[in-house]
Structure 1
Amino acid sequence: MTQKHGGKTVDEDLDWQIVTAVADAKGVEPLELGERLHDVVDLDAVKQLFVGMPSSESMVEGHVSFTLDGCEVVVDQSWDVDVIPQTEIAAD
């Protein structure tokens, strides 16, 4: 399913974007992650938080962060995904 978000069309592949970003950060294949995304966070709730009702503007500004397989994952209102590996978290 495709939605309009923030004036641009966004495919509902946020799940895959997060999983592949974490796998890349860890240097493994996506199916080799030790945790399942949907066991860690309710991604439908994250998507609903940042999708405007009834317009396509975001309801809130900011980000949501959670830990997936030892990496901090940050998703912002534009559905941009940043991954911070555990080694970088420990160094702070």
Structure 2
Amino acid sequence: MDFSWMAWTWPTAIFFLVIFAMIAGMGVWEYAVPGGSPRVGILRFETTRGDRLFVSLLGSAFICLGWLWATDLTLWYALIVCGLFFVLVFRFV
């Protein structure tokens, strides 16, 4: 595939494909087990699986932006922090 018309790189394309796959996976999960088991976590309001996915994606974006601002280290380390954040959001929010 040639992404030169949009000046995309393969990592950028993979990033968006992973986001798409996560949203599609959540759709399949919702179809298989409807309802999403809403629960009240540490934020003290009811969230569903989709809400927690959105919060984890948004938080991960801010983690990566903060990482770029605060350090010259590679973003792979930020990805580890984002993965931990993702697990914590789905566990406690």
TM-score for the superposition, normalised by structure 1:
0.33
Point out the structure with max Rg over C-alpha. 2
Give the structure with the higher percent strand.
Answer: 1
TM-score for the superposition, normalised by structure 2:
0.33
